[in-house]
Structure 1
């Protein structure tokens, strides 16, 4: 998919693509590839201006309607709707994480602290978002060879800032909230050391908080304990890998940092309610293989 996005990129230097209901000129073979459930290797956003569409992210259906934004992160399993209503008005944006490194600030919503990948926008924000998308579309479809790289990044940053503000506003949390900032640090630490399976005590020490404080913090924002959070994240990663790799249970367990494959199998069943074998059988049934 990474090679595919580079192929269909609309910029000479930046791996980025924007499409809309008015302009969706992907080749038929590319559309067929993207229609299948696949592992995302780039960031992907859908803004529904008017209408309804249902996407699947990490084995969960997500229905969008007027003024809502869906964001999909690298490594997630994604599938678009099997059919698109011809009256649907939308904008879609995809780019690699290297572009984020070129922007002047970070966007906390991309850590998905609130455990929802749908952003609700008010009427004023919708109009601004639509305007920025239109400007980006003009920049990306210009014949100018360099396509105003710096200006394009400015507007892309403005778009992400709109998403970031709306994401946290929908739950009444300020992005500068100190406890939220510490929780985001926890999430980032877990991601960066996921297969190392660091202990909760180790993570607490890295974040300069007590174990009890970390427990209260993670419970407040996620509803589960730090240990449960890490377990759920590991099993989600296992489910993703089962979609796009042919690892044996033993290989999968070792790749995720488990020294005991039997323990991993029991944990998988306890968390998902299905054995790894049953999970794979259902995947094969869905794919028709």
Structure 2
């Protein structure tokens, strides 16, 4: 069985700061205040932004493996399962912050859900930049790190504003790099983001497209049309993919049986859940658990 997945809170340092930044060189994080070992996939209750100056290694995010490239930024939302495997010549920064830190004013929490790379299962949370575009973000990160290291009574407010500028610049680049292939400039993109946020909040209990459409004041047909236009998937496929992702997490990071997982996900017929899982992944739940756990035996 897989050991239960570890979920980490914000690192605890002096003043219980809800924003922290670490510079990382080489294979491991040398800073003693960083909260956890990273030899197995894990997740956080906070947001994390990984800035890769010199990319070397790979990054697993929710069972998908991505090579780490130089001049790139990876974004992690609360609850996402990930593991970074670094090589010796790796150089980068980890910036972590709580939702409350960014949402000091109520409307700022909404802004996090408007960022295409956060809380969005249909888009890749990775931004690979040209050296010229990355230089601007790198300069911001260096300034953020400098401000962080001289912490005083003004630092929280300064960092919050720097963070907002950094994320908005990332959004600008993300839309520029992916506008055509992901239709992020489509006027209905925000509506699809709203749907994704609702699915993230309700998927365990609500499986039907028409229920989400009702919550959004739309017909199921219109919701499906807009979701398919933006993502290439139907609304039902996105709901099912989110359910299957959660099933994978349960299989690898808990000792729950397939039957128990089915009930956790509001499937009243465990055999139906197993058939759907095999159709989507090519493995039965028990086969998937065995194959994935073999990756981390050593």
Matches of residues 11-30 of structure 1 in structure 2 within 5 Å?
12-21=15-24, 24-27=29-32
Q: Please name the residue that 1:129 is paired with.
A: 137
Which protein, 1 or 2, shows the higher relative CO under an 8 Å CA cutoff with sep ≥ 6? 2
Cα deviation for residue 177 of structure 1 reads 3.9
Q: Please name the residue that 2:170 is paired with.
A: 163
Q: 1:142 aligns with which of 150, 157, 165?
A: 150
- Aligned: 1:58 with 2:62: yes
Tell me if structure 1 keeps the 8 A contact 2:262–2:273: yes
Q: Aligned partners of 1:261 and 1:231: how far apart in 2?
A: 15
User: Across the two proteins, how many residue pairs are aligned to each other?
Assistant: 283
- Aligned: 1:183 with 2:192: yes
Q: Are the structure 2 counterparts of residues 123 and 283 from structure 1 closer, same or farther at C-alpha, using a change threshold of 3 Å?
A: closer
Cα deviation for residue 181 of structure 1 reads 0.9
Cα deviation for residue 269 of structure 1 reads 0.9
Tell me if structure 2 keeps the 8 A contact 1:47–1:68: yes
Matches of residues 80-159 of structure 1 in structure 2 within 5 Å?
80-81=84-85, 83-86=86-89, 88-102=90-104, 105=108, 106-107=111-112, 108-109=115-116, 110-112=118-120, 115-142=123-150, 144=152, 146=153, 148-159=155-166
Q: Aligned partners of 2:77 and 2:18: how far apart in 1?
A: 15
Cα deviation for residue 178 of structure 1 reads 2.2
Give the secondary structure class of the aligned counterpart of 2:222: helix
Cα deviation for residue 230 of structure 1 reads 0.6
Cα deviation for residue 122 of structure 1 reads 4.2
Tell me if structure 2 keeps the 8 A contact 1:39–1:244: no
The RMSD of aligned alpha carbons is 2.6
Q: Once the two structures are superposed, what CA deviation does each residue of 1:29-84 show, in whole Å capped at 9, x if it has no partner?
A: 956x2232113332222112234331111111111322211112222221111x42
Tell me if structure 1 keeps the 8 A contact 2:277–2:284: yes
Cα deviation for residue 13 of structure 1 reads 4.2
Tell me if structure 2 keeps the 8 A contact 1:2–1:42: no
Q: 1:72 aligns with which of 69, 76, 82?
A: 76
Cα deviation for residue 113 of structure 1 reads 6.3
Q: Are the structure 2 counterparts of residues 89 and 29 from structure 1 closer, same or farther at C-alpha, using a change threshold of 3 Å?
A: closer
Cα deviation for residue 189 of structure 1 reads 1.4
Tell me if structure 2 keeps the 8 A contact 1:113–1:184: no
Tell me if structure 1 keeps the 8 A contact 2:7–2:43: no
Q: Aligned partners of 2:32 and 2:39: how far apart in 1?
A: 12
Which region of structure 1 is more displaced relative to structure 2, 111-120 or 234-243? 111-120
Tell me if structure 1 keeps the 8 A contact 2:19–2:98: yes
Q: Please name the residue that 2:3 is paired with.
A: none
Q: Aligned partners of 1:29 and 1:246: how far apart in 2?
A: 28
Give the secondary structure class of the aligned counterpart of 2:178: coil
Q: Which runs of 5+ in 1 are unaligned?
A: none
Q: Are the structure 2 counterparts of residues 29 and 43 from structure 1 closer, same or farther at C-alpha, using a change threshold of 3 Å?
A: closer
TM-score, normalised to structure 2, is: 0.85
Q: Which runs of 5+ in 2 are unaligned?
A: 1-5
Q: Are the structure 2 counterparts of residues 29 and 39 from structure 1 closer, same or farther at C-alpha, using a change threshold of 3 Å?
A: closer
Cα deviation for residue 191 of structure 1 reads 1.3
